[in-house]
């Protein structure tokens, strides 16, 4: 009888040890996963990817908005135009008699959806100083100036992921279109600090909110 009791004690002790090691393994795995996510979010290469994503909008120094539907409609269109031009060889694009680039709306819509999501609804109209961005209703296209539209260079300095939301801390440097990031020293002081909020799955995120950093 005593031998059976001893066996039960050993079995219980062995079971406890197994459970403890299993719990240690779960905790270690959890910490490893968290560390992996943090490394991913704080990877300088990831910051560069985020900067590339938000740059067509951020480089225009937009007014803050709480929701993409509250953003200035002309700014959204111009961001889409800039995103298109970054994907195209400007020298190969069709031009009008004034030397302006002709950009089909279908290309603009594709880039706008990549930036702001499939639910974005753009308002097509002529806008800008001296009607710089002329909408051609007949050809369903924009006639846009062939010059550097970037007014601001951005650097992502921090990212925080919570659920399907990524919050980016962004330094903004006003350039007036006169120089690019290669001319900007690493220790340059930003003209302003902004917060960009993205939503969606990793690598499929879209811009949903822009705020002034507190």
* Whether residue 128 is found in the same domain as residue 168: no
CA distance 41 to 43: 6
pLDDT exceeds 70 at position 203 = yes
Shared domain for 95 and 172, answered yes or no, is no
Distances from the Cα of 36 to the Cα of 33, 40, 42, 167, angstroms: 5, 6, 10, 18
Least confident of 30-44, 45-59, 129-143, 188-202: 30-44
pLDDT band at 26 (very low <50, low <70, confident <90, very high): very low
Q: Is the pLDDT of residue 205 over 50?
A: yes
**17 or 200: which carries more pLDDT confidence?**
200
Asked whether residue 140 is domain-assigned, the answer is yes
Where does residue 77 rank: exposed (0-12), middle (13-18), buried (19+ CB within 10 A)?
Answer: buried
pLDDT at 62 over 80: yes
Average pLDDT for residues 64-93, to the nearest whole number? 94
pLDDT at residue 158 is higher than 80: yes
**What's the pLDDT score for residue 130?**
87
- CATH number for the domain including 202? 3.10.450
| Whether residue 72 has pLDDT greater than 60 | yes
What is the H or E stretch that residue 37 is in?
Answer: helix 2-41
Q: Which residue segment(s) compose the domain that 195 sits in?
A: 150-212
> What is each CA distance from 82 to 30, 57, 94, 116, in whole angstroms?
42, 8, 16, 14
The tokens describing 92, both together, are 């190969």
Tokens linked to 36: 């992996």
**In a shared domain, residues 104 and 185:** no
* Residues 159 and 91 placed together within one structural domain of the fold: no
Distance from C-alpha of 166 to C-alpha of 195, rounded to nearest angstrom? 10
Of 113, 144, 175, the one marking the end of a domain is 144
- Condensed to tens digits (0 to 9), the pLDDT of residues 117-144 reads 999 999 999 999 888 999 999 999 999 9
Say how many residues make up the chain.
Answer: 214
| Count of the separate structural domains present in the chain | 2
Q: When comparing pLDDT for 73 and 153, which is higher?
A: 73
Instruction: Return the closest-CA partner of residue 77 out of 103, 98, 43.
Output: 103
* 133 and 164 together in one domain: no
pLDDT value for 187: 85
Maximum separation of any 2 CA atoms in the chain, in Å: 104
């Amino acid at each position: 009888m005593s031998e059976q009791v001893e066996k039960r004690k050993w079995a219980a002790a062995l079971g406890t040890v197994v459970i403890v090691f299993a719990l240690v393994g779960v905790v270690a795995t959890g910490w490893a996963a968290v560390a992996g996510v943090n490394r991913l979010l704080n990877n300088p290469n990831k910051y560069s990817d985020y900067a590339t994503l938000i740059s067509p909008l951020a480089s225009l120094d937009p007014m803050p908005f709480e929701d993409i539907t509250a953003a200035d409609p002309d700014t959204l269109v111009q961001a889409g135009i800039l995103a298109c031009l970054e994907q195209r060889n400007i020298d190969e694009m069709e031009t009008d008699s004034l030397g302006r680039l002709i950009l089909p709306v279908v290309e603009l819509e594709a880039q706008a959806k990549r930036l702001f999501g499939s639910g974005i609804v753009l308002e097509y109209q002529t806008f800008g100083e001296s009607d710089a961005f002329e909408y051609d209703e007949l050809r369903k296209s924009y006639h846009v100036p062939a010059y550097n539209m970037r007014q601001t260079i951005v650097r992502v300095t921090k990212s925080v992921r919570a659920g399907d939301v990524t919050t980016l801390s962004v330094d903004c440097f006003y350039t007036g279109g006169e120089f690019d990031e290669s001319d900007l020293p690493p220790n340059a002081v930003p003209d302003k600090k902004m917060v960009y909020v993205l939503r969606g799955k990793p690598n499929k995120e879209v811009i949903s909110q822009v705020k002034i950093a507190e």
